[in-house]
Amino acid sequence: MKRASETQDGPVVVSKDGLPQWLDPVVRVVETIEPLQLSRFLPPKSGAGRQSAVLILFGEGEEGPELLLMERASSLRSHAGQPSFPGGALDPEDGDPQTDGPLRAALREAEEETGLDPSGVQLFGVLPKLYIPVSGFVVSPVLGWWREPSPVDVVDPNETARVFTVPVADLTNPDNRATTVHPSGHRGPAFLVESALVWGFTAGIIDRLLHFAGWERPWDRGKQVPLDWRS
């Protein structure tokens, strides 16, 4: 297996060829979505912010289409204990942040955090860059198809608490949807799936993908869940 970090000099291929038909609506989202349709938090015009990337990886499991997520370790400084897509800040060796740097970073981070074999992933698009004000990250959401699934698990317990997949059917199930209210007063979509509360940046992207892909089902936006829902 070639590590993603060892392929940094070669081109990173982005291709829509041979994707499963059920991904067609997601491909259309990638081709047509405008930044403000994804989030009101966009990168500062000044160019400030730390360049980073996440891997939004679609696979096919026993219950149909699914997404790969992880739960961040509770000891981390930022977004501790929060479910998220694999990802992180760009390293210099990832390359140009404006071209294929985010592609390499998304694959590298996914490999480092989940043990994923990047050679089994087909990248098929990148969503507009978004901004996470609380941490100052400028995030490129990179989309992939898990063409050849590989085993995944926690690589470093200091970074990751667990790695899991969530069926898209569970994400679209209205019973699993709610609104979170942050102590700051900010409200956002949330998903109660796989014994986890997915909220914040990750839930926002999933919510918009489901909506614009036409997969969203009507749900009760008045149903609120606190961030400390387990206590």
Per-residue pLDDT tens digits for 208-231: 999 999 999 999 999 999 887 765
- Tell me which fold the domain 21-166 belongs to: Nucleoside Triphosphate Pyrophosphohydrolase (3.90.79)
Per-residue pLDDT tens digits for 160-198: 899 999 999 999 999 999 999 888 888 999 999 999 999
Q: Work out the number of other CB atoms within 10 angstroms of the CB of residue 73.
A: 16
Q: Tokens 């919510």 — which residue? A: 207
Under 8 Å between Cβ of 66 and 115: no
- CA–CA dist 231, 226 (Å, integer): 10
Rg of the chain over all Cα atoms, to the nearest angstrom:
17
Instruction: Provide the whole-model pTM.
Output: 0.92
* Distances, alpha carbon 106 to alpha carbons 46, 79, 85, in Å: 24, 18, 10
Residue 182 is predicted with a pLDDT of 82
Q: What tokens appear for 76 in the block?
A: 């981390």
- CA–CA dist 160, 153 (Å, integer): 9
pLDDT in tens, the chain (231 residues): 333 434 445 679 999 999 999 999 999 999 999 999 999 999 999 988 999 999 999 999 999 999 999 998 766 555 557 899 999 999 999 999 999 999 999 999 999 999 999 999 999 999 999 999 888 999 999 999 999 999 999 999 888 899 999 999 999 999 999 999 888 888 999 999 999 999 999 999 999 999 999 999 999 999 999 887 765
